Chains A and B, each alone.
Chain A
Amino acid sequence: MKKLAAQILGPTALVTTALTVYLGIWVTPQDVVQGNLARMLYIHPAAAWIALYVGFGTAIIASLMYLWPRTRSTAADHVAASAMEVTLVFTILTLITGSLWGRPAWGVWWVWDARLTSTAVLAVLVAGYLALRRAIDDPELRARRSAVLALVAAINVPVVHFAVVWWKTLHQGATILTPGSGILVHGIMAWTMLLSFIAFTLVYAWMVRERYRIAIRQQTRDDRELAHAVSARHSEGGAA
Chain B
Amino acid sequence: MIRVARLVAVKDLRVEWRSRVILWQVLPFGVMTLLLMGFAEGPETTLSPSVAAGLFYVVVLFVSMLVIARSATIESSPGTANSISMLGLDPAGVFLGKATAVFLEVLLSALILLAGTTLLLHLPLALALHSLPSVVLVVMGLSLAGTLYGALTSGLTGSPTLLPLLVLPTMAPLLIAGERTISAIATHQTWSSWLGLLIVFDVGYTVAGILLYGVVEDS
Interface of A with B (CB < 8 Å)? Answer: 67, 117-118, 121-122, 124-125, 127-128, 131-132, 135-136, 140-141, 144-145, 147-149, 151-153, 155-156, 159, 166-167
Contact = CB atoms under 8 A, between A and B. Distances in A.
B165 interface: yes
Interface string B149-182: 1001100111100100110111011001000000
B165 A135 contact: no
Contacts of A131: 158, 162, 165-166
Given A136-B156, A144-B219, A166-B197, A153 B170 contact: yes
19 contacts: A67-B215, A118-B173, A121-B172, A127-B165, A131-B165, A144-B216, A144-B218, A144-B219, A145-B152, A147-B215, A148-B212, A153-B170, A155-B204, A155-B205, A156-B169, A156-B170, A156-B172, A156-B173, A167-B176
B193 to A, nearest CB: 7
Interface of B: 145, 148-149, 152-153, 156-159, 162, 165-166, 168-170, 172-173, 176, 193, 197, 201, 204-205, 208, 212, 215-216, 218-219
A149 B193 contact: no
Given A128-B162, A144-B215, A149 B172 contact: no
A152 B206 CA distance: 11
B58 to A, nearest CB: 14
A160 to B, nearest CB: 10
Pick from A67, A144, A152 the residue with the most CB of B within 10 Å. A152
Given A132-B156, A152-B208, 5 more contacts: A128-B169, A140-B219, A149-B166, A155-B205, A167-B176
Given A124-B165, A166-B193, A155 B219 contact: no
Contacts of B166: 125, 128, 131-132, 149
A169 to B, nearest CB: 11
Contacts of A167: 176
Contacts of A155: 170, 201, 204-205, 208
A contact face: mostly helix, strand, loop, or mixed: helix
B208 A125 contact: no
A155 B193 CA distance: 18
Contacts of B205: 152, 155
B153 A132 contact: yes
A156 B172 CA distance: 9
Nearest to A125: B169
A135 B216 contact: no
Contacts of B169: 121-122, 124-125, 128, 156
B166 to A, nearest CB: 4
A131 B149 CA distance: 13
Contacts of A136: 156
A152 B162 contact: no
B216 A145 contact: yes
Contacts of A128: 162, 165-166, 169
Contacts of B208: 151-152, 155
A217 B168 CA distance: 34
Nearest to A143: B219
Nearest to A140: B219
A167 B173 CA distance: 11
